[in-house]
A and B are shown apart, each in its own frame.
Chain A
Amino acid sequence: MKTPRLSPQTLRVLERFIERPTAWRYGYELSRETGLKSGTLYPILMRLAKYSLLETKWVTTEDGVPPRHTYRLTPNGVELVRATFANSRAALKVRRPAFSGGRA
């Protein structure tokens, strides 16, 4: 499976998605939680969707308010994120003794 380049900003977005993998998230909500501006956030979302790691859906929230575009990780996306974060944790565990100086 082809995967996009995972920049620190992309990891920040993925971190938010993995907290509640089944929940649909709004763009503005993600922007506030990650602190990313729309000009940074949307290219990331578009790239994730291009690689089929993200699915999109239009939802109607209340009467008179236009429908909102929502986003959620696909099963592939969840798998990739879990693998990525698991690898990161493993790497950290391997490194820890060297950094902890034997105190661990």
Chain B
Amino acid sequence: MIPVEFPRRLATLLLRFAIWIAPYDTHDWGHGMLSELNHVEGNWSALLWSLGGAGVLAKHAMLAVILPGSHRRTVSSASELFSKEIPMRKPALAVIASCVAVSLLLFLAPVFRQAFRVSLAQWHDVFHVKQSFGYPSPDLELDALVKKAEQNQDAEALAFVAVRYPNATERTRLANEAVQLDPNLTWLYAVTGTAYLSPSEIDRRVSLLKQWDPQNALPHLIAAQRIGAAVAYSKEFPLGKLEERPAWEKEMDAAFQSPKLDNYLDRQKQLDHRVLSRYRLGDPFQAVSGEDWYGFPNYGVGECSLYAQSLLESGKSLESRGDRKAAFEKYWVVARFGQMMGDGAGFTFVMRKDIKEAYARLGALSQMEGNNGAAAFYAALADQFDKAADKQRLLLRNRFQGSDVSHWNAFLVRLSGLLVLSCAVLLLLCALGIVVRSRSLRLSSLRPSRLTLTLGFGAAVGSLLSSAVLFVSYWPYSELLQRFLSKGDDAGLFELSAFLRDIQLPLGSQFNLGPVSWYVASWSVVFYFWFAVTILCALAILIAVVRHFQTRPRASVPA
């Protein structure tokens, strides 16, 4: 419940503050408005009266900054600066100094430094830091790590960089060097992907992977994907004709017959943990490489479905010809591969329809054979698979989209990071303004105007508050990272990854929190930003020119 007198008290305070920042020649008017406040009927009407008056005075205060000649009264000497007659100045300066000192002290905490650095990621698109015209720029930290790794002949560190390095040629070289140093890292060829590689290089890698891990379906899927890509670029496009290619069919058949499907993500996480700990790397962006994809690498996901459909068609054809045993085998291959995908790669939802159909056909065939127990077993497996696929889809969606908490924290970190920067810039401008006005660096000759003091005060307090919000919002993610770095616990990496994905978007481009959501393309936000910067620069030049002509000494005209 708001006290009845509260609006009138607020109105008085507001007007008093407005008079305080207003130029000297408007003080009489301000006090006039204040005295009238005693005669305004109604407390809320008094507040409205005060708001209008304060607006007028604030406008004059701003104009006094832009256009000199409003006869603003400033502190004329150090004695007046700390005099008892203007009690606001000394506490204000003390508060400004304390806030700035505490904000700077926060930078001594590694978590805060990391939080600030992470909050700067939103500027990468604006200043093309990580990307330049669509091409990734070299990463200085990774370059330094490559040098160390090459000096130490550290295959694991080279593998760590190879997964992350933005340049494809360098990525290939590093992967080859790592595998050459330690053949146990051959799995790296599957993790680094096949983008920008020549067909012969892909074939070489597939051959090595097949030798190194003959039980795994993954090398066959990589080979099938290469053939599929070749078809996509040839006249045989669309992919519907893939199954006519014997080589593709051979690889897919081998993949479906393989006893396991391992995408090596567990090995990669273990290696990441070891390298990050060994080199004491604390960059969260390096720790979470690849979490935002569906169990990346997802070779041949679409082609698996295509091949499964061809197997189902073939099974139905065999069934219609009366060869139930051969049909059963076809259906079983599809169902088994579906189970294997669910265990290893985690993208069963792509083939959900095909696998359910395979179970249904297996059940129907068992029933035809009079084996009701087996039919019930397949029905139970289908049901189990369906539920698991549902759960997996939900899990992947959550991992990919992130939770409301991560969206909200990412928003807070971006906003508070932006405010810290803005407040710092405003403080610097205030300090610069005072020095330029006073034309001296001596404290005794500095003459801050009341508006400058108010702006400086606001910026200092804002800087402290936004630093605190930045620290608190980032803290949980720092804990998740520390858990991975110290114990190898990667359970929180998906949450961290979703958070960092949001962090990299410029503020204002996307917001997704429950019912409140909007989307503006990042490049639009970048355009608006630079447009606003251009307009502000033009305004600043205009004000400087106006001030120059207003303050230059005029030659006296002889009578």
Which A residues contact B (CB, under 8 angstroms)? 26-28, 31, 37-40, 42-43, 45-46, 56, 65-69
Q: Give chain B residues whose Cβ lies under 8 Å from the Cβ of A66.
A: 34-35, 38
Q: Give chain A residues whose Cβ lies under 8 Å from the Cβ of B110.
A: none
6 contacts between A and B (CB under 8 A): A38-B36, A38-B53, A39-B51, A69-B29, A69-B32, A69-B35
Query: Does any Cβ of A come within 8 Å of B49's Cβ?
Result: yes
User: If A28-B40, A46-B26, A56-B28 touch, does A37 touch B35 (CB 8 Å cutoff)?
Assistant: no
Tell me the smallest distance from the CB of A2 to a CB of chain B, in Å: 17
CA distance A86 to B26 in the complex (A): 33
B35 touches A68 (CB 8 A): yes
Please classify the interface of chain B as helix (H, G, I), strand (E, B), loop, or mixed, using the class held by over half of its residues.
helix
B35 touches A42 (CB 8 A): no
Query: Does any Cβ of A come within 8 Å of B95's Cβ?
Result: no
CA distance A27 to B50 in the complex (A): 13
Which B residues contact A (CB, under 8 angstroms)? 26, 28-29, 31-36, 38-40, 48-53, 55-56
A39 touches B36 (CB 8 A): no
Please classify the interface of chain A as helix (H, G, I), strand (E, B), loop, or mixed, using the class held by over half of its residues.
helix
Q: Give chain B residues whose Cβ lies under 8 Å from the Cβ of A45.
A: 29
CA distance A68 to B35 in the complex (A): 6
Which residue among A26, A27, A40, A65 has the maximum number of chain B CB atoms within 10 Å of its CB? Answer: A27
User: If A66-B38, A67-B35 touch, does A39 touch B29 (CB 8 Å cutoff)?
Assistant: no
Tell me the smallest distance from the CB of A43 to a CB of chain B, in Å: 6
B53 touches A28 (CB 8 A): no
User: If A26-B36, A28-B36, A42-B33 touch, does A69 touch B28 (CB 8 Å cutoff)?
Assistant: yes
Which residue among B31, B34, B38, B56 has the maximum number of chain A CB atoms within 10 Å of its CB? Answer: B56
| A-B complex: 3 closest residue pairs judged by Cβ atoms | A69-B32, A39-B52, A38-B52
Q: Give chain B residues whose Cβ lies under 8 Å from the Cβ of A67.
A: 35
Q: Give chain B residues whose Cβ lies under 8 Å from the Cβ of A69.
A: 28-29, 31-32, 35-36
Q: Looking at the complex, which one of A26, A40, A46, A65 makes contact with B52 (CB distance below 8 Å)? A: A40
Q: Looking at the complex, which one of A28, A31, A39 makes contact with B55 (CB distance below 8 Å)? A: A39
CA distance A27 to B56 in the complex (A): 14
Q: Give chain B residues whose Cβ lies under 8 Å from the Cβ of A56.
A: 28, 32
B39 touches A38 (CB 8 A): no
Closest residue on chain A to residue B15 by CB atoms = A38
A65 touches B38 (CB 8 A): yes
Known contacts A39-B55, A42-B53, A43-B56; 16 further A-B pairs (Cβ under 8 A): A27-B36, A28-B39, A28-B40, A28-B49, A37-B49, A38-B36, A38-B49, A39-B51, A39-B53, A40-B52, A42-B52, A42-B56, A65-B38, A66-B38, A68-B36, A68-B39
